[in-house]
Amino acid sequence: MSRIEILFSYHDEDPTDDFVIFAIAKEYEKLEQFEKSEKWYLNLREKSSDYIGLYYNLGKLYEKMEKFSEALSIYSEGLVVAKNISDFHAASELNSAKMNLEIEMDE
């Protein structure tokens, strides 16, 4: 059984498990199935917008897909969420990713 199949079996057992949804998105990303990965990240964002890890990872996915404005937007959205839940480590990582992308875009 492949890793993605195992993750889907977990998802079948509990479709509300945010970590499993996140893991499916990451697995599709590793498989370079970026559109499927994006779908799962967006599903998680709609369902559990305070799942802070999705913002950095979705932003990086958008960078891989060369969707730079979407990446900046998701980093900004994640910064608001991180501040609202007082996750200053995540806020710092998101801010750094956003600034690095802005610098790259200006070059």
pLDDT at res. 33: 98
Residues 55-73: tens digit of each pLDDT = 999 999 999 999 999 999 9
Mark residue 51 as left, alpha or beta (left: phi above 0; alpha: psi -120 to 50; beta: remaining).
beta
Domain with 12 in it: what CATH number?
1.25.40.10
Number of domains in the chain: 1
State the pTM of this model.
0.94
Residues 90-105: tens digit of each pLDDT = 999 999 999 999 999 9
> Does residue 107 surpass a pLDDT of 90?
no
Classify the C-alpha dihedral 79-82-84-86 as positive or negative.
Answer: negative
Please report, rounded to a whole number, the percentage of residues in the chain having pLDDT higher than 90: 97
DSSP string, 32-63: T-HHHHHHHHHHHHHH-TT-THHHHHHHHHHH
Q: How far apart are CA 79 and CA 74, in angstroms?
A: 9
Residues 22-52: tens digit of each pLDDT = 999 999 999 999 999 999 999 999 999 999 9
CA 105 and chain centroid, separation: 20
- Angle subtended at Cα 60 by Cα 30 and Cα 19, rounded to the nearest 5 degrees: 60
Name the residue range of residue 38's domain.
3-106
Q: How many residues does the chain have?
A: 107
Is there a contact between 34 and 66 (Cβ–Cβ < 8 Å)? no
